[in-house]
């Protein structure tokens, strides 16, 4: 008999969910984690990032407060206070996640585990453990390009621990992390230069909405270098960095953050030893039931490089546990996953962009609302929101909703239900507006 029914490698969002649910069905479960229980999202991703986004927003809120009658005599930001508060909240959450596992009788090994066979793993301490099933949930890590001086650059992992805020920062990349941290550092007072290899930011989002973000970001003072690449980084005696560029002049800066994607954590995991197939990017290849080519080994979350989002990893972990330990087989539905970028202002989307709809459907209709939120008007902040509905021209079904503006991600979650439920524009029109809100624009587009 194997030591455990299930051995999970990696205690992030997907691994923790699978372990806890499998255990609740009566399975004997163990989990190994070499860093901290909680994984990327809780320890060095979504959660601390969102707290920084909240912190950053005060910069504008305090400016805007004057028009609402508040006298804020002096605005001063102390990075160390926010950083330490965020890290202590992360510590609290790590404790809560650990407690959830122990309350569900999951055995935790706080060390690295590697595969040594189809039903066995070896812990860093040397112990060998056998299991009926093994779940790989090791996540992904920031991709750092190989270039001279890369050791002087940081990834998103280090941003949460910075000793002090840089006066100037270069952010390489044009995706989620680059745009979120561009907003965060800018609000904290750093001069931000975003360097991107093309002129397309946030590929996959509706381009009209992305263009609005670029427009607002430029007006705020964020600098963009498109069609530009970092060639080398040289550290000067005063600690500053000289960055050799192609596509634009060299740049002198204090910090460089690379946000050019994330790569699956499969290096040294023992996939060879266990005979598990790995793809070109190092991702674990799985079928719709999260099963690898080895029948006893499964994988969920970022390590599979399908959709790198926490709620998706959680659903995959849940589906795996329900299917193989709860006798409730089901597969994750990847259609209409809402997503958001917590930039300043944030943007969000669900379903097809206008471009995707034009490629996939015969005829397409769009409705947009381009407006200045009431709060911005009184504050004298010249920042406009943009909401967009994409319709199948044949059926008038709303196949996509895209928006940029305050609280867009909060609004999008509800709008995503309508898109997922395949509602039509007439259903939106039939819904009475909730006044005065920004989201009422969704039912007022004519
Ligand atoms: P993204 O995939 O979002 O963006 C990567 C960016 O880097 C793109 O602009 C890409 O350009 C560019 N790029 C890729 N390779 C290179 C290279 N070799 N040299 C220069 N530029 C390059 O990655 P992130 O690192 O921002 O985030 C990783 C993932 O984490 C996201 O895909 C997302 O799934 C998740 N995430 C989600 C968040 C959220 O839900 N709010 C927040 C943060 C992360 P191009 O478009 O041309 O390929």
From 47, 141, 173, 195, mutation site for ligand 1 pocket: most ligand atoms within 8 A of C-beta: 173
The yes-or-no answer on residue 435 being catalytic is yes
The H or E element containing residue 377 is: helix 374-379
> For residue 179, which atom of ligand 1 is closest to its CA?
26
pLDDT attached to residue 28: 98
Q: Are residues 102 and 169 in the same domain?
A: no
Host H or E run for residue 74: none
The answer on 183 and 81 residing in a single domain is no
Task: State pTM to two decimals.
Answer: 0.97
Q: How far is the CA of 261 from the centre of ligand 1 (A)?
A: 4
Indicate whether 209 belongs to any domain: yes
Residue 339 lies inside a defined structural domain of this protein: no
349 and 320, same domain (yes or no): no
CATH number of the domain within which 401 lies: 3.30.390.30
Question: What confidence score (pLDDT) does residue 179 get?
Answer: 98
Contacts of 242-247 spanning 24+ positions with Cβ under 8 A: 243/170, 245/195
CA-proximal residue: ligand 1, atom 7 (nearest): 260
Residues near ligand 1 with C-beta < 6 Å? Answer: 145, 173-178, 180, 196-198, 200, 203, 259-262, 308-309, 339-342
What phi and psi, each to the nearest 5 degrees, are found at residue 206? -65, 125
Distance between CA atoms of 169 and 150, rounded to whole angstroms?
15
* 256 and 370, same domain (yes or no): no
pLDDT at 128: 98
140-159: string of b/e by CB count within 10 Å (b at 16+)?
bbbeeeeeebeeebbbbeeb
- Final residue before a domain boundary, out of 212, 238, 260: 260
The confidence score (pLDDT) of residue 57 equals 97
Any domain includes 406: yes
Considering the domain architecture, whether residues 27 and 44 belong to the same structural domain is answered as yes
- Mark the ranges of the chain whose per-residue pLDDT is less than 50: none
Q: Assess whether 63 and 211 both reside in one domain.
A: no
199 lies in some domain: yes
CATH number of the CATH domain containing 249: 3.50.50.60
Given this model, what pLDDT does residue 5 score? 98
Are both 255 and 271 inside the same structural domain?
no
* Portion of the chain with pLDDT greater than 90, in percent: 100
CA distance 1 to 129: 11
> Is 267 inside a domain boundary?
yes
Please give the pLDDT value at position 217.
98
338 part of a folded domain = no
How far is the centre of ligand 1, averaged over its atoms, from the C-alpha of 258 (Å)? 10
172 and 190 in a common domain: yes
Indicate the pairing of strand 107-109 with strand 29-32.
Answer: parallel
Query: Which residue is closest in CA terms to ligand 1's atom 23?
Result: 261
Among the atoms of ligand 1, which is closest to the Cα of residue 45? 43
Name the burial class of residue 61, with classes exposed (0-12), middle (13-18) and buried (19+) by CB atoms within 10 angstroms of its CB: middle
Pair 4, 30: CB distance under 8 Å = yes
Euclidean distance between CA atoms 10 and 228, whole angstroms: 36
| pLDDT at position 116 | 98
Q: Which residues contact 215 (CB under 8 A, 6 or more apart)?
A: none
* Domain enclosing residue 411, as ranges: 345-443
pLDDT of residue 362: 86
Distance between Cα 154 and ligand 1 center (Å): 15
Q: Assess whether 269 and 234 both reside in one domain.
A: no
| Pair 119, 55 in one domain | yes
Q: Which of 233, 260, 287 is the last residue of a domain?
A: 260
Domain presence at residue 242 = yes
Count of domains in the chain? 3
Q: Atom 36 of ligand 1 has which residue's CA nearest to it? A: 176
Asked if residue 170 is part of any domain, the answer here is yes
Domain match, 20 and 64 both: yes
Which of 240, 260, 280 is where one domain is finished? Answer: 260
pLDDT at 205: 98
Does residue 360 share a domain with residue 226?
no
What is the edge-to-edge ordering of all strands in the sheet holding 168-172? 223-226, 191-196, 168-172, 255-258
Quote the pLDDT of residue 365.
98
């Amino acid at each position: 008999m194997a030591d455990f029914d299930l051995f999970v490698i990696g205690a992030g969002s997907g691994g923790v969910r699978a372990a806890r649910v499998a255990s609740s069905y009566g399975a004997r479960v163990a989990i190994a984690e070499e860093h901290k229980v909680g994984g990327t999202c809780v320890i060095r991703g979504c959660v601390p990032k969102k707290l920084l986004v909240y912190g950053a927003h005060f910069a504008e809120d305090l400016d805007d407060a004057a028009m609402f009658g508040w006298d804020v005599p002096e605005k001063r930001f102390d990075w160390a206070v926010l950083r330490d508060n965020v890290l202590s909240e992360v510590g609290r959450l790590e404790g809560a996640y650990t407690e959830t596992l122990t309350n569900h009788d999951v055995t935790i090994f706080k060390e690295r585990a590697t595969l040594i066979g189809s039903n066995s793993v070896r812990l860093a301490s040397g112990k060998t453990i056998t299991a009926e099933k093994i779940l790989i949930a090791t996540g992904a890590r920031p991709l750092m390009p190989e270039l001279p001086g890369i050791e002087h650059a940081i990834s998103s992992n280090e941003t949460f621990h910075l000793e002090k805020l840089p006066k100037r920062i270069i952010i390489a990349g044009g995706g989620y992390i680059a745009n979120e941290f561009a907003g965060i550092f800018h609000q904290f007072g750093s001069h931000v230069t975003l360097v991107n290899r093309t002129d397309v930011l946030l590929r996959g989002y509706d381009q009209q909405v992305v263009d609005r973000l670029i427009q607002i970001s430029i007006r705020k003072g964020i600098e963009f270098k498109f069609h530009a690449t970092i060639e080398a980084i040289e550290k000067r005696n005063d600690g500053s960095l000289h960055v050799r560029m192609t596509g634009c002049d060299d740049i002198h800066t204090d910090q460089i953050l690379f946000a050019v994607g994330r790569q699956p954590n499969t290096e040294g995991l023992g996939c060879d030893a266990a005979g598990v197939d790995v793809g070109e990017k190092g991702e674990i290849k799985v079928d719709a039931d999260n099963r690898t080519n080895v029948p006893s080994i499964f994988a969920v979350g970022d390590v599979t490089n399908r959709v790198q989002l926490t709620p998706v990893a959680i659903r995959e972990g849940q589906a795996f546990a329900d299917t193989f330990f709860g006798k409730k087989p089901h597969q994750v539905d990847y259609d209409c996953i809402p997503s958001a970028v917590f930039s300043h202002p944030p943007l969000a989307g669900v379903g097809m962009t206008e471009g995707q709809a034009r490629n996939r459907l015969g005829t397409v209709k769009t409705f947009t609302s381009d407006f200045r939120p009431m709060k911005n008007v009184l504050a004298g902040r010249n920042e406009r929101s943009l909401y967009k509905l994409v319709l199948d021209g044949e059926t008038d079904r709303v196949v996509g909703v895209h928006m940029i503006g305050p609280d867009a991600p909060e609004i999008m979650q509800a709008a995503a239900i309508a898109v997922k439920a395949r509602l039509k524009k007439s259903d939106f029109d039939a819904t009475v507006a909730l006044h005065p809100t920004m989201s009422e624009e969704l039912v007022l587009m004519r």
